[in-house]
Amino acid sequence: MQYKGDFKELYSMVRRRHPSLIGVDDSIVHAMGEELRDAQKSENTLIYIIAVSCSVFFCATYPLLIARAYRLARLLQTQLASMLSQREFLGNHPEIIVTCLLVLLVVPFYTMVLPHFRRIWNPLFKGEFPPDIKKRGKKFILYILIVNYLVVFIPLLFLYSYTPISEFILKGITIVWLMLPLIIICTLPTCILLIILVLLFGNKFIVSNPSYISYGLLQLLNLVDEVQGLADLKHHQKQNIVNSIVRISYMIKTLYKGSGLMNGSTQWSVREMERAGDNFLSLSSWIYFPQPNTLENLRKKMCSYLNIFLSGHYHELPREKMGEHTGIILVEERIAGLRRFIGLLFFAGYLGFPIAIFAAVTALFHIDVPPLIQSAFNILYITWVAFGFFHFSEKLAPDAKSLLIEVIKSLIQKK
């Protein structure tokens, strides 16, 4: 688990385990601690600004969207009432009734009842529960909610066909059923705003200064000290170490970026720090492909980097030319930026494609689309947008992803 305490306390704790670390005066340690706190406040301020902006936008738009969604639900309920009233059809087709009842029984049983009976599962399927069912993973829970939500359509079919309860109660049940997904969908504008703000300000999320880099190295070394062997680490543990390496590498690369006018000397320093960052980033390949002495060598490397940043002797930073032979594939930032821009254009085309097709077809063939079909198309398009939104959000830069996670955490804590 990553240490998140005081700089001086962490430095003292790590130095006791690693005597090779240089000694630093208390006044310098105190100054570095103050600089670290200022950097953390800067990060927290950016998170707070984005969180407040999204909260204000949410409060301003959500009631309006919910009111619109309620009107849409009432309209859909009226159309569903006439569509689901099929008493005569069901009377002429008893096999449809049997099929609906079987689905109504089987789906809840397999999704909600059977996973709780491990003794029944093992003899029937000759094996253990799938991990997601045993641990009730997010994907399985989401699957249960969606499938059982759709199954509610069957009881509504029978209720509207045979009307065993009052029309007022049935209308209320239907509106509530229709509103459930709309309540979630109404949060999409806020989510889109959040993604846009993260894309705009994500590069400013990680503050880079020597104190922050030193603190990150101390955290990383403390985390590595808790490891008994890299080969025995679980995947998420390896990923935590690699994420720390990536974050520190980014801070090293950007240490001199944005430091005043970009003269020739500053440009050279920025380029050298980028090389130093790439050298540090190559250590992540040690985690993925460890050898018997990798852990000890990694600790020595961490101590070496810490001594450099604690002393300020940046000329000692490794700045070798990197490549695949060193465990890293370099991609030019301009190419990466162009790819990201092309990805955003593709996302815009993805959003506009269904609208363009629908408009072209209706205009070309002069089709008069009924309101019920239009409502169905609207729901399908919203589903299309939601799927694309979550798909393309995975293509955010790592620093932007971390900012997104922190902002979401801040929003949750506020609530």
Q: What's the residue count for the chain?
A: 415
Q: 377 or 187, which is more confident? A: 187
What average pLDDT does the structure give for the chain?
Answer: 79
- Pairwise CA distance, residues 347 & 349, whole Å: 5
**Alpha helix positions (H), 85-135:** 87-92, 94-108, 118-125, 131-134
Q: How confident is the model at residue 171 (pLDDT cuts 50, 70, 90)?
A: very high
* 190-236 tens-digit pLDDT: 888 887 777 666 655 567 788 888 888 988 888 888 888 777 778 88
The Cα angle at residue 49 between residues 48 and 50, in degrees rounded to 5: 90
- The residue among 314, 307, 303, 299 whose CA lies nearest residue 269 is 314
**pTM for the structure as a whole:** 0.60
DSSP 203: G
- What's the whole-number mean pLDDT along residues 260-283? 82
Q: Give the distance from CA 411 to its chain's centroid.
A: 14
Q: How confident is the model at residue 130 (pLDDT cuts 50, 70, 90)?
A: low
- What's the whole-number mean pLDDT along residues 372-385? 75
User: Which of 85-94, 115-124, 166-175, 333-342 shows the lowest per-residue confidence on average (mean pLDDT)?
Assistant: 333-342
- Pairwise CA distance, residues 244 & 219, whole Å: 9
- Pairwise CA distance, residues 400 & 345, whole Å: 18
Q: 109 or 203, which is more confident? A: 109
Q: What is the pLDDT of residue 99?
A: 92
- Pairwise CA distance, residues 214 & 263, whole Å: 27
Q: What is the pLDDT of residue 326?
A: 60
Over pLDDT 70: what percentage of the chain?
75
